């Protein structure tokens, strides 16, 4: 592949690998008999989300209201904003809904639920709200067996002309990122499913409506054996995969669709160092593999065709300098094999973090044709 | 200060603190009798660089050619691109020079020097090149006593109508970031100075011209006691400072001019957790204080007026969720003192990395007036 005309560092997307990842996840979710709502925070890129929709995704998940605005403007209407809503963001959410966006918002306390209800009532609008459930202790959410769950639900339906309508529960088993065996992953997927379904059942038993049961993370979506009681699955990073997911065991290094194209700018041969023009600005500061079975430093180094070079990882990174250590290469070999000007590719620890450093992707297909795909950032 | 109308997360700049930092560095460099060339990679923001120029800076340092293009378009002509040049970037560098930009480029090998010379000759242009010197073993650069230094210099002056002109040496003592006592910082500042001056002397003794001796990092610039033989100093992060610099000992927490405004979105009271809408996307993944005397997690939490709240640090971060641990606060106090919707501010580990996550800064002065200052990213 001829990438020499591309200015480095650049975020490359191998569209063949990406499509394989999209098809694999959609096939699994279809097999499990639930709807799929991809999390677009990983890519923030319209052509990629289009590919996910064409494959069968129904609606999207976003992590910022800016994502909601951008994708709604591009024609996506069914959007879940999966970060707890607060009063100051309600005007932005209302504006989207009044423009026709079917935006769903979440909260995990009676206090936040009341703020939504009150704002809705004041503006004669009914927000669709899902309650966030904590199924693994890793972050936000109401405990499925808690009284607080029922209280938060009641705070949403306090009045007949309420400003909010409870319509679902959602959870994200982020603790699955700490696991690495199929058995452990299946167990946490079942925990995610059963506890979220249980929360929905308790709300229904208390007389509340809860039609949606939304679960997901890339590791649990790829490990679940049953999703009984669940109505939809969410996952994000699977579209690119990364080295963290490789260590978890849900993909192979060869599935990783995102890589950073970089150029050798120098050497320190006595230390076996190759210095490249991709530092932490290009890779992100994410060191997600640091505590995993294989620590890839700031990334696994590949040749320009994307084949991993065994033993070469980026061991250190400054803002625009990456230091690649080549442990068993002599000084002369280092200078000739990895000469100044040579291009390399680096696979990221965490695709969401690495992708976020770039205003655009350079997407290439199996014939080597490239396209520039813009992505956005900020809030 | 009334920040309630600002959508969170947001990157706040306290302009009074920033101006104090700018004045402090400029006064020191003036006292040391050398010119000052700030590194603009920290902020990538025109109003801030203007403030540095007004204070006395001469020229700027950039980490990407995009920075060079942006600041040249805004009227800055004297620019050092401080990352090793490679052939693929020479057309972009040439275009800038032909537009009138006094762009200086660097390299640290005869191979890279030859590539520059050849390209210059082919395009009837003479690039001004400085050689990068390794004074502390932390990254790139030629050893001051090496034969490679002389070879690289000769590769630049190989022909009378050469495409390159050697005019200086530069170094960056990045190893100063690993130190934390005034004695150790003074010692590395002197090492940075003496070894870079030595490299210039060896080039001159070999019959080559080397008028510029450029050194710098924020810790060494603030610790040097003499800069004999040096012509200019570079530093970047001092303009904002951060928690890493606080641990190194060159600033106080109260000097940090950059903070992230965030909103409480929930709690997990039994774990003493406050959950906010600033995760690693808002803070960056930088964990620069992890190995320092005081580990601030993902950042030191302050009240909305910027006063640190003792014991409150962001211990964990997901993409758009930050988890703040409040160790000695009861569940009820947690919910009332840090109620859903309350704003907080978080001081960053590493200002360069945190700032890079934002399309704009919200700058505020001592009267509380705010302005939006755009910043750019990408390459």
Which A-chain residues 262-291 have CB contacts (< 8 A) with chain B? 263-268, 271, 275, 277, 280-282, 284-287
Mean pLDDT, rounded, for B184-194:
98
The number of angstroms, rounded, from the C-alpha of A338 to the middle of its chain's C-alpha atoms is 33
User: Quick check: A41 and B320 CB within 8 A?
Assistant: yes
pLDDT at B1 over 80: no
Question: Which positions in chain A touch B115 (Cβ < 8 Å)?
Answer: 340-341
The DSSP result for B247-307, as a single string, is HHTSS-GGG--EEEEEEEEEEEGGGTEEEES--HHHH-S--TTTTSSS--BT-EEE-TTS-
Chain A within 8 Å of B151 (Cβ-Cβ)? Answer: no
Question: Distance between CA atoms of B256 and B251, rounded to whole angstroms?
Answer: 8
CB contact set of B187 (below 8 Å; sequence gap of 6+) = none
CB pairs under 8 A between A and B: 156
Closest chain A residue to B82 measured between Cα atoms? A320
CA distance A378 to chain B (A): 6
Torsion of CA A99, A101, A106, A111, to 10 degrees: 20
- Distance between CA atoms of residues A194 and A191, nearest Å: 5
Instruction: Please indicate if any CB of chain A lies within 8 Å of the CB of B44.
Output: no
Q: How close, in Å, is residue A86 to chain B by CA atoms? A: 6
- Name the minimum distance, in Å, from the CA of B363 to any CA of chain A: 17
Among candidates B64, B112, B357 on the partner chain, residue whose Cβ is nearest the Cβ of A266: B112
- CA-based nearest distance A2→chain B, Å: 13
pLDDT 10s digits, B339-374: 999 999 999 999 999 999 999 999 999 998 999 999
Comparing alpha-carbon positions, the chain B residue that sits nearest to A42 is: B319
| Average pLDDT, integer, range B92-98 | 98
Residue A323 has which token pair?
Answer: 């230091």
Cα A82 from chain centre = 12
B84 chain-A contacts, CB cut-off 8 A: 265-266, 275, 277, 340
CA-nearest of B340, B183, B376 to A88 is B340
Which residues does B91 contact at the CB level (< 8 Å), separation at least 6?
none
Reduce the DSSP state of residue B107 to 3 states and report it. strand
In chain A, residues 179-238 whose CB comes closer than 8 Å to chain B: none
Q: Which of B63, B317, B340, B344 to mutate to test the interface with A (most CBs of A within 10 A)?
A: B340
CB contact under 8 A, A64 and B378: no
| Chain B residues with CB-CB distance to A280 below 8 A | 286, 353
Strands A60-62 and A164-170: unpaired
Q: Could you tell me if A88 lies within 8 Å of chain B, comparing CB atoms?
A: yes
ipTM: 0.97
Contacts of A112 in chain B (CB under 8 A): 265-266, 340
pTM exceeding the 0.95 threshold for the entire prediction:
yes
Pick from A109, A323, A377: which is nearest to B266 by CB? A109
Partners of B166 in the beta sheet? Answer: B129
CB contact under 8 A, B9 and A379: yes
Contact check, Cβ <8 Å, A268/B319: no
Distance CA B307, CA B284 (A): 21
pLDDT at B155 over 70: yes
Chain A residue nearest residue B339, CA to CA: A111
Chain A's closest residue to B288, CA to CA, is A285
**Do B353 and A266 count as a contact with CB atoms less than 8 A apart?**
no
pLDDT in tens, B28-56: 999 999 999 999 999 999 999 999 999 99
Please give the mean pLDDT across all residues of chain B.
Answer: 96
- Beta carbons within 8 Å of A237's beta carbon, 6+ residues apart: A42, A218, A245, A350, A351, A352
Say yes or no: B332 contacts chain A, CB-CB below 8 A: no
Asked whether the beta carbons of residue B341 and residue A109 sit closer than 8 angstroms, the reply is: no
CB B363 within 8 A of CB B371: yes
Measured between CB atoms, does A332 come within 8 Å of chain B?
Answer: no
Tell if the CB–CB gap between B268 and A140 is shorter than 8 Å: yes
Q: Is B357 on the interface with A (CB under 8 A)?
A: yes
Both tokens of B91, joined, read 């057309």
Grouping H, G, I as helix, E, B as strand and the rest as coil, residue A130 is: strand
pLDDT band at B158 (very low <50, low <70, confident <90, very high): low
Q: Strand B60-62 vs strand A232-233: parallel, antiparallel, or unpaired?
A: unpaired
Query: Average pLDDT by consecutive 10-residue portion of chain A (379 residues)?
Result: 87 98 98 98 98 98 98 98 97 98 98 95 96 97 98 84 92 97 98 98 97 98 98 98 98 98 96 97 98 97 97 96 93 93 98 98 95 97
User: What is the C-alpha separation between A258 and B360, in angstroms, rounded?
Assistant: 27
pLDDT (tens digit, 9 = 90+) per residue, B66-88?
999 999 999 999 999 999 999 99
- C-beta separation of A81 from A103 below 8 A: yes
Q: For residues A9 and A263, what is the distance between their CA atoms, to the nearest angstrom? A: 7
Residue B160 has pLDDT above 70, yes or no: no
- Phi, psi (deg, nearest 5) at residue B213: -125, 105
Asked if B379's CB is within 8 angstroms of A9's CB, the reply is yes
Give B211-227 pLDDT, tens digit per residue. 999 999 999 999 999 99
Tokens of B12: 């706040």
User: Alpha-carbon distance A171 to A192, whole Å?
Assistant: 7
């Amino acid at each position: 592949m001829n990438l020499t005309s591309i200015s480095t560092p650049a975020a490359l997307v191998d569209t063949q690998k990406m499509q394989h990842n999209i098809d694999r996840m959609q096939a699994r979710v279809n097999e499990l008999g639930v709807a799929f709502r991809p999390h677009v925070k990983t890519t923030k890129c319209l052509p990629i989300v289009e590919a996910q929709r064409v494959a069968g995704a129904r609606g999207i998940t976003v992590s910022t209201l800016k994502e909601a605005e951008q994708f709604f403007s591009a024609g996506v209407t069914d959007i879940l904003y999966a970060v707890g809503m607060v009063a100051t963001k309600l005007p932005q959410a209302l504006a989207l809904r009044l423009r026709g966006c079917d935006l769903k918002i979440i909260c995990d306390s009676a206090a936040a639920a009341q703020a939504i209800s009150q704002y809705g009532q004041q503006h004669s609008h009914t927000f669709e709200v899902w309650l966030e459930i904590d199924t693994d202790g890793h972050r936000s959410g109401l405990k499925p067996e808690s009284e607080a769950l029922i209280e938060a639900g009641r705070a949403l339906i306090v009045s007949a002309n309420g400003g909010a309508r409870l319509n679902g529960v959602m959870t994200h088993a982020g603790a699955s990122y700490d696991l690495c065996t199929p058995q452990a992953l299946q167990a946490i997927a079942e925990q995610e499913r059963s506890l979220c379904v249980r929360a929905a059942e308790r709300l229904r038993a208390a007389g509340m409506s809860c039609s949606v049961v939304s679960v997901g993370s890339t590791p649990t979506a790829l490990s679940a054996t049953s999703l009984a009681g669940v109505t939809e699955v969410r996952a994000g990073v699977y579209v690119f995969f990364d080295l963290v997911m490789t260590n978890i065991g849900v993909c192979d290094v060869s599935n990783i669709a995102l890589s950073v194209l970089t150029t050798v700018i120098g050497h320190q041969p006595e230390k076996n160092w190759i210095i490249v023009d991709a530092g932490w600005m290009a890779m992100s500061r994410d060191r997600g593999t640091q505590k995993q079975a294989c620590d890839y430093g700031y990334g696994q180094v590949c040749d320009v065709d994307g084949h991993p070079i065994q033993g070469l990882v980026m061991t250190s990174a400054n803002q625009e300098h990456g230091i690649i250590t080549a442990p068993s290469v002599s000084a002369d070999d280092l200078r000739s094999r990895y000469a100044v000007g040579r291009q390399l590719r680096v696979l990221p620890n965490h695709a969401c973090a690495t992708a976020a450093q770039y205003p655009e992707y350079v997407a290439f297909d199996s014939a080597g044709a490239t396209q520039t795909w813009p992505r956005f950032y900020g809030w």
